[in-house]
């Protein structure tokens, strides 16, 4: 805890962390590294992986789903091959082609 000039103690702001997971057509999955990153970094990783999945869908085990999960394993964003971003609802359908 920091002690500001007025003598009152303050608690540092809590920053939630996130992880990005990719799923393959053979039903296996992989957590992208690094894990437990701030939201902006997780979104950047997610978007790069979605773009990669769209560009390399011809591989023997293509990526068919990418998600961002928080520390409680709740899904915060989801992309599914052929459907685009399916969650959250306000961006559904985006990412169905190479232009996110």
pLDDT in tens, 87-96: 998 875 565 5
Is residue 69 situated within a structural domain? yes
State mean pLDDT over 3-15. 55
Residues forming beta bridges with residue 58, ordered by sequence position = none
Look at residue 99 in the predicted model and tell me its pLDDT. 45
Is residue 98 situated within a structural domain? no
Cα 72 from Cα 21, distance rounded (Å): 14
Is residue 43 situated within a structural domain? yes
Region for residue 75 given its phi and psi (left: phi exceeds 0; alpha: psi -120 to 50; beta: otherwise) = beta
Is residue 5 situated within a structural domain? no
pTM for this predicted structure: 0.77
Cα 90 from Cα 1, distance rounded (Å): 38
Look at residue 63 in the predicted model and tell me its pLDDT. 96
Is residue 13 situated within a structural domain? no
> pLDDT digit string (tens) for 18-71?
999 999 999 999 999 999 999 999 999 999 999 999 998 888 889 999 999 999
Look at residue 95 in the predicted model and tell me its pLDDT. 58
Instruction: Please tell me the total count of domains within the chain.
Output: 1
Does the pLDDT at position 1 exceed 60? no
């Amino acid at each position: 805890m920091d002690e500001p000039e007025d003598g009152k103690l303050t608690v540092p702001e809590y920053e939630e962390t996130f992880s990005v997971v990719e799923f393959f057509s053979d039903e296996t999955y992989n957590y992208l590294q690094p894990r437990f990153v701030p939201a902006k970094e997780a979104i950047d990783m997610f978007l790069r992986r979605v773009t990669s999945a769209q560009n390399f869908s011809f591989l023997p085990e293509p990526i068919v789903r990418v998600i961002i999960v928080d520390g409680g394993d709740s899904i915060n964003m989801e992309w599914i091959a052929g459907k685009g971003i399916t969650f959250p609802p306000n961006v559904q359908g985006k990412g169905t082609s190479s232009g996110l």
